[in-house]
Amino acid sequence: MNRVSVIQNFIIIACRNKRFTHTNEVNRTFSHKLLLLFPLLGMALMIASCGTMGKPATNETPTRGNIHIVADESFQPLIETEVFTFTHLYKGAQIRPFFKPEYDVINDFMRDSVKVIVTSKKLSDAQIQYLRDTLIIARTTTFAYDALALITNRDNKDTLIKYNTVKDIFLGKIKKWKDINEKSKLGNIRVIFDNKKSGNVRYFKELFEIKDSLSGNFFAVNNNAEVINFVSRNPDALGIISVNWISDKHDSLSLSFINKVNVVAVSQQYINDGTYYRPQQGFIYDKEYPFVREIYLISRETFRGLGSGFINWACAEQGQRIVLKSGLVPATMPIRLVQIKH
């Protein structure tokens, strides 16, 4: 019963109690009865209002509605495929993905500009508490495992690099290619990132405990695709990208990128047995490749809407198969590794 119906019923009850013939008597008696009914009327309105509490004023469901999500640009190839597949399975669902640097993704979420984000960074304790103070519970789900790939120009013959050498580059102890290979004819190492607000930069600064700004041979462009193109044109460049951009062997764009550059193999942090690992699925899965990170789906929805439906689907079998096909490692679906002997 809606609020109008409640009011109408109370007035009808008041009018049916007695039929009056004298106008003044009608006015006095009716007014007196309405005064007596006001408290009850208020209670009825509260009851009617409670019937809608906790429900969204929308027709949105886990498989129907119109929302947008914001994702770290590093994961654009994967998220575009996930959204495309989901919205083609559920015709009533419209999801528009936007791609930004990690810093802007988190800020949009905290400002309530978006209900669902995709990022490799968990919210801090302070951010979680801030949301709780505003009665918002942020739900974080691990969705996939990604790796940060080091790429070099095709003319650069140095395709193997030790973990500690990478660390020394970030600490500013190694600045020239000759410091890695004395036979190299290249000059300074130019380290190229996707964006100055990138999660790729944050990852290495946290990994190597770098508090200050990076040294002068670090540069940022605008996105992962630009990193690949820059490295393909400059022999002295060392690019840092999400492997998601070059890992899908069934995607024409991914194949075109991988053909432009070398993917560097890296040794493990504590084991120096002459073995090097590239950011391939098996080595990401068992973390033999050292630069592995998680991809999170984070929601601040207050009801089970389309964002929640998309997250549940992406973490279920169909969504996880897309992760597997993309060359990354699913977080919620077991995978089987097959060793091929040559």
**Half-sphere exposure in the Cβ direction for 255 (13 Å, CA):** 4
Selected residue with higher pLDDT from 50 and 191: 191
What confidence tens digit (pLDDT) does each residue in 170-186 have?
999 999 999 998 888 99
Residue 335: predicted pLDDT: 63
**What is the pTM for the complete model shown?**
0.80
Per residue in 264-277, pLDDT tens? 999 998 888 889 99
Fold designation for 66-335 = D-Maltodextrin-Binding Protein; domain 2 (3.40.190)
Alpha helices in the chain, H assignment, sequence order: 3-16, 23-50, 76-89, 102-110, 125-133, 163-170, 199-207, 224-233, 252-258, 281-285, 306-314, 317-325
pLDDT higher than threshold 60 for residue 284 = yes
User: What pLDDT is stored for residue 46 in this prediction?
Assistant: 42
pLDDT per residue as tens digits for the range 193-224:
999 999 999 999 999 999 888 878 999 999 99
Sequence-separated (6 or more) residues with CB below 8 Å from residue 179:
none
Domain ranges, ordered by start, for the chain = 3-50, 66-335
Task: Provide the pLDDT for residue 270.
Answer: 85
Q: Please give the pLDDT value at position 22.
A: 42
